[in-house]
Chains A and B, each alone.
Chain A
Amino acid sequence: MIFREVEDRDLIAKARRGDVDAYGILVSRWEKRIFNYLLRLVGNREEAMDLSQDVFLKAWQNLKKLEDADRFSSWLFRIAHNEAFSLLRKNRPETSLTADPTVADRGARFYPVELTLAVQSALTRLSDDQREAVLLKVYQGFKFEEMAEILGCPVSTIKSRLYAALDLLKDTLAPIGARGVQ
């Protein structure tokens, strides 16, 4: 992990000097995480793909403004957050996943696909802020302080959103987890 961070720092330094190849490597390392974060946030593959493109373009254009190369991940997710919420504010009704509310009510064991749908459905029932808090914490593994930096709000707000989200998700997903996956 340390080796990876050092390499990222070197790539960032090269990219800052205009090395397109170095930035290309950086993109290939982070594109999957950024895409999945955006996909679970906006719920649409094409939009997530377009947003990912915009995120990496803006990151390239503003790379010289990044003061600390060690905070590249927080900085990149901050850009992704801004891009995603610009879109969500613009066309929120059109970007929701087609949730299947009956999935969570079944009494049988769940197939992986059904579990995936159940989780996706449960995530869509959260507010955008709550869902984003879950995505950054559970899927991206950021600490509360890093999340506060990405989202530009206090740690107390982050905890409030996340805890509220977990209470909602617990009601839906805990019974599914208890029945297990087939």
Chain B
Amino acid sequence: MTCSSVDLKAYMLGELQENEKGLVAAHVRECASCGEEMERLSLTHLALTSLRDEEVPRRIAFVSDKVFEPRWWQRMWHSGPAMGFASAALLACAILAHGYMRPAPMVGPSSTVNTAAVEQRVAAQVNDRVGSIVAAAVAKAVADTEARQDRKTTELLADAEKKFDLERKEDRLATEANLEIIRKEQAQMYMASSGLEVRP
């Protein structure tokens, strides 16, 4: 190994492989100039490593630093209960805002809503409407029923009258027949009592 091929600095810095280290070490033992150079490099390294690390003057502001803390929305986003509470609060705010921002009702000058009166009025209107509809339906049903009953009664009366007429006719015919029989018998009895010949 020649002086030009020996990398003393790499040797001193621990960058050589084991086999290279052995070759360099052997060369340094045999070569005076490379030995002196190696000693100067070692003394330089020794002086450099005498410089001690300083302590950090203050702790790196990490955990206590606001920069590292998650922001309020990040904390809330990762918290289920907090997110639920926020959602409920938002919904409540929306309802309140809607209540305050919607147009005033036309029922009166007061901006406050009398829900009981509104409910009562709506109930009365509903009752009236339902009552009228039910009444109409009932009236129609009753009229239909009465009409059906009238038709039935008329039919029954007509049937009865027809039946009575037939019966009266039968009775009259029977009566006339009986009267004819009676007149014939009276005539025979008169002829017999007067000695007259009875002609059939």
Contacts and interface: CB of A to CB of B under 8 A. Distances in A.
Do chains A and B stick together as partners?
yes
Interface of A: 18, 20-21, 23-24, 27-28, 31-33, 35-36, 39-40, 45, 49, 52-53, 56-57, 60, 112, 115-116, 118-120, 134, 137-139, 143-144, 159, 162-163, 166, 169-170, 173-174, 176-178, 181
Given A31-B56, A174-B40, A177-B43, A20 B50 contact: no
A143 to B, nearest CB: 7
Contact of B57 (A28, A49, A173): A49
Contacts of B45: 138
Contacts of B13: 137-138, 162
A60 B65 CA distance: 13
B98 interface: no
A115 B59 CA distance: 28
Interface of B is mostly: loop
A19 to B, nearest CB: 11
A116 B50 contact: yes
A50 to B, nearest CB: 11
B54 A177 contact: no
A144 B15 contact: yes
B96 interface: no
Nearest to A181: B50
Interface string B71-85: 000000000000000
Contact of B60 (A36, A52, A170): A52
Given A52-B56, A60-B68, A119-B51, A177 B46 contact: yes
A170 B44 contact: yes
A35 B56 contact: yes
Contacts of A21: 63
A33 B55 CA distance: 9
B9 interface: yes
B67 interface: yes
Contacts of A28: 59-60
A160 to B, nearest CB: 11
B1 interface: no
Contact of B43 (A112, A137, A174): A174
A40 B68 CA distance: 27
Contacts of A18: 70
A159 to B, nearest CB: 8
Given A120-B51, A138-B45, A24 B57 contact: no
16 contacts: A18-B70, A20-B70, A40-B51, A115-B47, A116-B50, A116-B52, A118-B47, A139-B49, A159-B10, A162-B9, A162-B13, A166-B9, A166-B41, A169-B47, A176-B47, A177-B44
Contacts of B107: none
Contact of B62 (A23, A137, A166, A170): A23
Given A36-B54, A173-B43, A174-B43, A20 B49 contact: no
A98 B54 CA distance: 18
B9 A24 contact: no
Given A20-B63, A137-B13, A163-B9, A45 B57 contact: yes
